[in-house]
Structure 1
Amino acid sequence: MLSPAASRSSPRHPFASSTARLEVLPSHIDVEEEARLYEQLCSEGAEYSRVHPVRSDSPSIPPSVFSKDIWLDDHSGESRAFARDVKIGGWTNVGDKRGGAYIVYDCAIKTKEDTTIHIHKRYNSFLELEQALHRTLPRHQLHFVPPLPPKTPFARYRPVFLDRRRRQLQYWLSAVLLHPDIGSCKVVRQWVIT
């Protein structure tokens, strides 16, 4: 072992004690050669699939290109969530400040079918959705639900505060509606349509 003074003066190479073969990659990559190798790999995979049909005990999962023993499930499919984009475009003051006024946020939810759903929700509606998600979601999914922005009763009618809250609620609603599992749950769908 090197002394502390020796190790400071001459740094060790990270592979100095390695006994395995080390292959240095060229600094220039031949794109055409890489494309040819990729095409070859794809054609070998297609040939393998033709010769080795899908197992009967797993009809929907094709065999791996790389090994006869490994079966890969396709995890690259689409999300089950119905929403594709979420925007909260603004807010509206409803009622008289002396007689129980409240703020309503205009939420525009674009679905995967390119239909835009406009809903108007109060902050309490977001709070109810958060509470329903915490009651119904499995424990391992709860960390995907970010915290809602806190209530601030004294600043709730100030435009600067309302714009900041609009952006925070848009982030929160996007995190919920666009999540592949949470965005497809029954609680979220009911919140959107009611």
Structure 2
Amino acid sequence: MTPTATSSPQSGPSTAPAHPFAHTKNLLVIIPDNGIDVEEESRLYDQLCERPSSPNGPPSIFSNDIYLGDNSGESLAFARDVKISGWTSVGDKLGGAYIVYDCAITTKEGTVIHAHKRYSAFAQLHSTLRRCLPHYQHHFLPTLPPKSPLSKYRPQFIDRRRRLLQYWLASVLLHPEIGGSKPVRMWVMD
């Protein structure tokens, strides 16, 4: 890298500093900081989106022939957020205790559904989806966290499993096709 000439108050005037990307070979577009009107840009984008110019969606602001075909609004999934907010142990360890996870599912309308599910319910949904989904969608299903009968009541194990189940459930419920499938809807409402 070559040093650039700068002007300091002690040394007097000198040449202007070289642009930091002056010698780059890649395309670089620098937007000048001249007060971009965000409201005007937003209005322009909304105006472009309102025009029914293509079935592929709104045109890109960068080109007249590139479309943002991200299928937004066409997802079959009914959820927009999935959290497993906590867990609790039900019963005593000697009499057949089990862990229940609180699944907080936020719908597209903003309603929060709390579904209390055991690990076996997650395993049942996983096997049902493997049976019902077309083969080409099986790779969208992540693997369930493993069972561990010896450490299933340890708080560290349960919290780790909660995080892994949250990832798994979010991957299923937020998927644009799988998230709206009948087994998923039945599982949430059961």
Scaled to the shorter chain, the TM-score interval is 0.5 to 0.7
Question: How many residues of Structure 1 are paired with residues of Structure 2 in the alignment?
Answer: 147
Closer, same or farther: CA 30–97 of 1 in aligned 2, 3 Å? closer
Residue aligning to 2:182: 186
User: Is 1:138 matched with 2:134?
Assistant: yes
Secondary structure of 2:105's aligned partner: strand
State how far apart, in whole Å, the 2-side matches of 1:27 and 1:74 are.
25
State how far apart, in whole Å, the 2-side matches of 1:157 and 1:30 are.
56
User: Is 1:77 matched with 2:72?
Assistant: yes
Q: Which letter does structure 2 place at the counterpart of 1:187?
A: P
Please list every run of 5 or more consecutive structure 2 residues that lacks an aligned counterpart in the other structure.
Answer: 1-24, 37-43
Closer, same or farther: CA 28–113 of 1 in aligned 2, 3 Å? closer
Closer, same or farther: CA 92–31 of 1 in aligned 2, 3 Å? same
Q: 1:160 deviation in Å? A: 0.6
State how far apart, in whole Å, the 2-side matches of 1:150 and 1:89 are.
20
From 104, 113, 116, the equivalent of 1:117 is 113
Structure 1 residues 4-19: aligned runs within 5 Å: none
Q: Which letter does structure 2 place at the counterpart of 1:77?
A: S
Residue aligning to 1:98: 94
Q: Which letter does structure 1 place at the counterpart of 2:160?
A: R
Provide Cα deviations, 1:94-152, integer angstroms capped at 9, x if missing partner. 01111111110011000000000001000000000000000000011100000000110
Secondary structure of 2:161's aligned partner: helix
Please list every run of 5 or more consecutive structure 1 residues that lacks an aligned counterpart in the other structure.
Answer: 1-23, 55-59, 67-71
Secondary structure of 2:71's aligned partner: coil
Greater percentage in helix: 1
Residue aligning to 1:5: none
Under a length normalisation based on structure 1, what TM-score does the superposition of the two structures give?
Answer: 0.66
User: Is 1:172 matched with 2:168?
Assistant: yes
Structure 1 residues 24-35: aligned runs within 5 Å: 29=30
Secondary structure of 1:89's aligned partner: strand
Residue aligning to 1:155: 151
Closer, same or farther: CA 27–94 of 1 in aligned 2, 3 Å? closer
What do you get for the CA RMSD once the two structures are aligned? 3.0
Q: Percent identity?
A: 55
Under a length normalisation based on structure 2, what TM-score does the superposition of the two structures give?
Answer: 0.67
State how far apart, in whole Å, the 2-side matches of 1:28 and 1:165 are.
46
Q: Which letter does structure 1 place at the counterpart of 2:86?
A: G
Q: Which letter does structure 1 place at the counterpart of 2:103?
A: C
Residue aligning to 2:40: none
State how far apart, in whole Å, the 2-side matches of 1:25 and 1:153 are.
56
Residue aligning to 2:8: none
